Chains A and B, each alone.
Chain A
Amino acid sequence: MAAERALGRATSRKGERVLGVLAAAALVGSTVLGLIVAPPDAVQGEVQRLMYIHVPAAWLAYLSFAVVFIGSIAYLRTRRTRWDRLAGASAEIGVMFTALAIVLGALWGKPVWGTWWTWDPRLTTTAVLLLIYIGYLAIRRISDNPSRRAQWCAVVGIVGFVDVPIVHLSVVWWRSLHQGPTVLRLGGPEIEGTMLLALIAGVVAFTLVYAYLMTLRLRVGRLEERAAREALSPIVGPAVEAEV
């Protein structure tokens, strides 16, 4: 109940505006840090600056799918629609961040590896992750029974999350072209101080953007449900209307 109350406060119109301003300011700050303040990499040069947006996009994909996972479990336990709505909203945003991380990775890969794409374990498992959650979003559109749809989605949201640790650990488990962990590793981060600051600023900015997009997406979801209710009510009658 406390989580639901916190969610309600964050999704109020005032909360939404505050988050929007904070996210925009954080994005500007992290861009300045990443493009101007942080030094170029000794080996890769300027192109390494893509790290300050590629890594946050990938981390936000993980976070988004973790929220889908939590929302799915909560839905199956409580059968409350708001948890299904939360999971659906987070999956949509997660797909956007995953696609963004893949595109930014390709842009980084071309000058450094000499190719836009290779069937490397990290890249392949990330592509699978994208396909899983595109499938999840497809399921959200095919069933016209809301409770059955929410149940299917919750199951996919839980099972699909298994790929997230596989993506993260793929560079440790298999021989990979992709570099290994440089921040979350035993022995502490292996990265220069200003670069680490720019990277953290990027993660914070993208997290605020995620929070802002979630509040917007949840409000849009409620409005679309209201429109669907209005459209259905004269056809199916008040009893079914209440159920929808």
Chain B
Amino acid sequence: MEANTGYVIAGYVITAATLGGYTWRLFARGRAARRRAEAIAARRRPA
């Protein structure tokens, strides 16, 4: 294996982690916002 192959592996791993991490974060933000909206709407509903 060539000495510089580690840089290539690191580059691909960082790219996968960045794209995957951002996608996961967007899903988490969406879920949190939906839960927040639903919780507020439920509190305002008459018992």
A residues sitting closer than 8 Å to B (CB atoms) are: 27, 31, 35, 40, 45-47, 49-50, 53-54, 57, 93, 96, 99-100, 103-104, 107-108, 110-111, 209, 212-213, 216-217, 219-220, 223-224, 226-227, 229-231, 233-234
Contact = CB atoms under 8 A, between A and B. Distances in A.
- The interface residues of chain A, by DSSP majority, are classed as helix
A28 to B, nearest CB: 11
Contact of B7 (A50, A216, A226): A50
28 contacts: A27-B19, A31-B12, A35-B8, A45-B2, A46-B5, A47-B5, A47-B7, A47-B8, A54-B11, A100-B18, A104-B14, A104-B15, A107-B11, A107-B14, A108-B7, A111-B3, A213-B22, A216-B27, A217-B26, A220-B29, A220-B30, A223-B30, A223-B37, A226-B37, A227-B33, A230-B36, A230-B40, A230-B41
- The interface residues of chain B, by DSSP majority, are classed as helix
A147 B22 CA distance: 28
Contacts of B3: 111
Interface of B: 2-5, 7-8, 10-12, 14-15, 18-19, 22-23, 26-27, 29-30, 33-34, 36-37, 40-41, 44
Given A47-B5, A104-B15, 14 more contacts: A46-B8, A47-B2, A53-B15, A96-B18, A107-B14, A108-B7, A108-B11, A111-B3, A111-B4, A219-B30, A220-B26, A223-B34, A227-B36, A230-B44
A49 B15 contact: no
Contacts of A103: 14
Contacts of B27: 216
A209 B20 CA distance: 10
A47 B1 CA distance: 12
Contacts of A99: 18
B11 A50 contact: yes
